[in-house]
Amino acid sequence: MRSRLVFIAILLFASAFEPAVRPEQRSAILLSWDGAGGGRVRANLAAGKLPHLARLVGEGALVDVEVTGHGTDTKPGHAQMLTGYDPSLTGVYSNGRFRPIPRGYSIFERLHQTFGKNGLATIMVTGKSGNLGSQSPEGSNGEPFSLARSSITVWDGDQIRPARLVGEHALRHLGRYAPKGRFFMFVHFADVDVAGHTFGEDSTAYDLALGECDAWLGKILAALATAGASERTLVYVTADHGFDKRAKRHTAATHIFLATNDPRVARGGEQRDIAPTILSALGVDLTKLTPPLPGRVLAK
């Protein structure tokens, strides 16, 4: 009886990722803080203003990531983050030069190819339309996710909305999918980017937006614990691009970051390394992917 009570207590209070859970049983959440530069994230973390990110990093790592091979804007940043491929394969070079990402290349589709549609639910929630959109109006090129969309279990995008709404939707999806089985959820927060364009990279508003993203990270971690899914869920936080220092633009903003509770992550790298890091953590055999991913897992 006593051991059973102890067991229940451990289940209730266990809210950290358990590395012994096999990759084929894990879930993952990828959060994109649009326009969050690595330098400002580290400064706010050091100032104690990102407590939930600090807790996540305490279980895993915070590493420096460089955006390489494409413009530092939203479309190519997310296309590479969510596929691992360079623009020569995705066709997404910049916000102005793009085409739909070819079928089958996204993390969502790779997971379904490996584990089946019923083996894992995929969810995409965004705070911007267009640059992360799925629309394909007649006569237009088609937005980056217009071909991937039909393969994603829950498409919750094509809307411009603040962290409060994006976060609430993410919690709703978690409440539905996290208690049951495996899932991969991508959540995009636009607020840091919006604050940077409006008030500048060195503004209080930019730091406050980072703080709001951190508060939502806290709520997401709490929702995982409530669902009993903390031990089997990896959480990754990154950005599509950084921000030019003391400016309201991000034309040469290559410095970003990856924060995670994934204990394997042990070195910095490039944005193209994020997708293989997540796919391998979830049990996808990278050697079987065609075309081969150019990036490397961010492990030692």
Residue nearest to Zn ion (CB): 193
CA distance 230 to 278: 16
CB of 70 to Zn ion, least distance (A): 14
Only one of the segments 81-89, 126-134, 186-194, 261-269 lies at the binding site for Zn ion (rule: CB under 5 A); that segment is 186-194
Q: How many residues bind Zn ion (CB under 5 A)?
A: 1
Only one of the segments 85-93, 148-156, 185-193, 271-279 lies at the binding site for Zn ion (rule: CB under 5 A); that segment is 185-193
**Nearest CB to Zn ion, comparing residues 77 and 295:** 77
Only one of the segments 77-85, 122-130, 136-144, 187-195 lies at the binding site for Zn ion (rule: CB under 5 A); that segment is 187-195
User: What is the pattern of x (binds Zn ion, CB under 5 A) and - over residues 84-113?
Assistant: ------------------------------
Strand-pairing partners, residue 7, are: none
**Nearest CB to Zn ion, comparing residues 162 and 263:** 162
CA distance 111 to 7: 32
**Nearest CB to Zn ion, comparing residues 65 and 120:** 65
Report CA dihedral (154, 158, 162, 163) to the nearest 10 degrees: 30
Report if residue 193 touches Zn ion, rule: CB under 5 A. yes
CB of 2 to Zn ion, least distance (A): 56
Residue 119's CB: how many other CB atoms inside 10 A?
12
CA distance 253 to 197: 13
CB of 202 to Zn ion, least distance (A): 16
Burial of 137 (0-12, 13-18, 19+ CB in 10 A): exposed
Length of the chain, please? 300
Angle at alpha carbon of residue 128, lines to 125 and 131, rounded to 5°: 105
Residues forming the site for Zn ion (CB under 5 A): 193
